[in-house]
Amino acid sequence: MSDSTTARTPMVFASPARYVQGADAIDSAGESIQRLGRSAMIIADDFVWNMAGARLTDSLARNGIEHEYVRFNGEASGAEIQRIAALANEAGYDVVIGFGGGKTMDTAKGVAEQIAAACAILPTTASTDAPTSALSVIYTDDGAFESYRFYDRNPELVLVDTALIAQAPPRFLASGIADALATWVEARAVARAGANNMTGGKPTILGTAIAEKCEAVLFEHALAAYRANQAQVVTPALEAVVEANTLLSGLGFESGGLAIAHAVHNGFTALHGPIHELTHGEKVAYGTMVQLVLDRAPSAEIDRYLRLYLALDLPVTLKAAQLDGVSDADLHRVAETALAAPESSHNVAYALTPTDVVWAIKAVDGLARALDA
């Protein structure tokens, strides 16, 4: 019998308790949320609240759920989580609802963990794979990446209204596609390296298979979904891509693992200036290309990714990424941040130096410019 010092790391698969998706799903949100409790705090920014807050509160009221709105100030920081948690503690809510984008959702998860309440996530864009996971990406109050914060459980509910998402700017859907396209590239690297996933366990067959399926769905439906979003209509292609961006990518990254793509994203946050105008997914798109270069991916695969990114107007040149004229010193800052322990860049089967990462960043720029010429 082995003791605790020789025990193998177990495989772990994590997921939310319930996932609901469809057009106008927000109008029946109360039916799902009442399973979790009878009082709720809603965290949202002004834009989301003015757009659809009345529809959500009407649904809660119809189902007998007391509720209060708390304004999200815009940054998923430790200070913001503490501020809202202090308000929630006073009222003793059963449920914390994160209603909006990725940083709103990450804040809601942090608040729910602190007050030991159920967590319901209602994304209004399909721009990240944050909704389903048991973690938050925490930033400083100035917007620089600080850490991943891990929780004991995944959200009890993720509810996605595809009609709302169809009304959002297509840039957000494209950003979500970029974030989701990193899923398989990173998960397969984690599997090859025998590294751990985001739960601290080994990837399961299912977690890795979901990551691979995520890529297949996106390459099949991404452009048609993008066009549907431009027309503000819900189509089968849009439904498929929203599910891939949210559920498949969420389960795939958490249970499959992260690697270089997201580490490079985190490296970019160390810079100041216009790069902070990019979304999470837009920075991840560049990071995915960096990983493909460092992974020695076949030229055909690199071209396939680049062509889809360019068709979706994603930034895969230094100029498009707001880094035109960036100095080597700044690129080394990006690389050093991306390689700092315990970054996910270490979940690959080869060693890296900052110079390797800088050269890969420059190589992606050259490849993309040549293809886009």
Apex 329 CA angle, 325 and 330, nearest 5: 60
Domain boundary among 167, 201, 228: 167
| Catalytic annotation present for 67 | no
3-class secondary structure, 75: coil
In a domain, 7, yes or no: no
Strand partners, 120: 97, 157
User: Last residue of some domain: 167, 188, 214?
Assistant: 167
272 is catalytic: no
Which CATH number fits the domain that encloses residue 290? 1.20.1090.10
Tokens of 238: 């849009």
- What is the C-alpha to C-alpha distance for residues 193 and 311, in angstroms, rounded to an integer? 32
What is d(CA 20, CA 342) in angstroms, rounded to the nearest whole number? 34
Task: Please write the tens of the pLDDT for every residue from 162-172.
Answer: 999 999 999 99
**122 DSSP β-pair partners:** 99
Question: Residue 127 contacts by C-beta under 8 Å, 6 or more apart in sequence?
Answer: 101, 102, 168, 172, 173, 175, 176, 179, 245, 279, 280, 281
Q: Has 262 been annotated as catalytic?
A: yes
pLDDT at site 359: 98
* Domain membership of residue 361 as a residue range: 170-371
The whole-angstrom separation of Cα 370 and Cα 362 is 13
Which tokens go with 253?
Answer: 């990254």
Active site residue 280: yes
* Dist. CA 358–CA 295, nearest whole Å: 14
- Among 167, 192, 216, the domain boundary falls at 167
Cβ neighbors of 298 (< 8 A, separation 6 or more) are none
Can you tell me which residue has the tokens 């549907």?
228
Q: Are residues 366 and 228 in the same domain?
A: yes
For residue 77, is it left (φ>0), alpha (ψ between -120 and 50) or beta?
beta
Tokens of 176: 């979500």
What does the alpha-carbon distance between residue 349 and residue 189 come to, in Å, rounded to a whole number? 7
pLDDT (0 to 100) of residue 1: 41
pLDDT at position 5 is: 52
The active-site residue out of 129, 280, 330, 365 is: 280
d(CA 259, CA 249): 14
Residue 2 has a pLDDT of: 45
The pLDDT assigned to 155 comes to 98
Both 109 and 217 in a single domain?
Answer: no
The residue annotated as part of the active site, out of 262, 295, 330, 365, is 262
Count of domains forming the chain:
2
Low-confidence ranges of the chain (pLDDT < 50): 1-2
Catalytic residue among 106, 179, 295, 365: 179
Q: pLDDT (tens digit, 9 = 90+) per residue, 323-370?
A: 999 999 999 999 999 999 999 999 999 999 999 999 999 999 999 999
The type of residue at 7 is A
Catalytic one among 45, 265, 330, 365? 265
Query: What pLDDT score does 6 carry?
Result: 60
Does 144 share its domain with 174? Answer: no
Query: Based on the domain organization, do 182 and 309 belong to the same domain?
Result: yes
Three-class DSSP category at 140:
coil
CA distances from 76 to 84, 120, 145, 329 (A): 11, 17, 10, 28
In a shared domain, residues 160 and 200: no
For strand 157-161 and strand 145-150, is the pairing parallel, antiparallel, or unpaired? unpaired
Q: Is residue 113 one of the residues assigned to a domain?
A: yes
* Residue 40 one-letter amino acid: A
Decide the pairing of beta strands 157-161 and 118-123. parallel
CATH number at residue 77: 3.40.50.1970
Given a contact cutoff of 8 angstroms between Cβ atoms, the answer to whether 192 and 344 are in contact is no
For residue 33, the model assigns a pLDDT of: 98
Same domain, 191 and 321: yes
Q: How far apart are CA 279 and CA 233, in angstroms?
A: 23
- Taking each helix axis as running N to C, give the angle between helix 170-193 and helix 299-311, from 0 to 180 degrees, rounded to the nearest 10: 160
Q: How high is the pLDDT of residue 89?
A: 87
Round the average pLDDT of the chain to a whole number and report it: 96
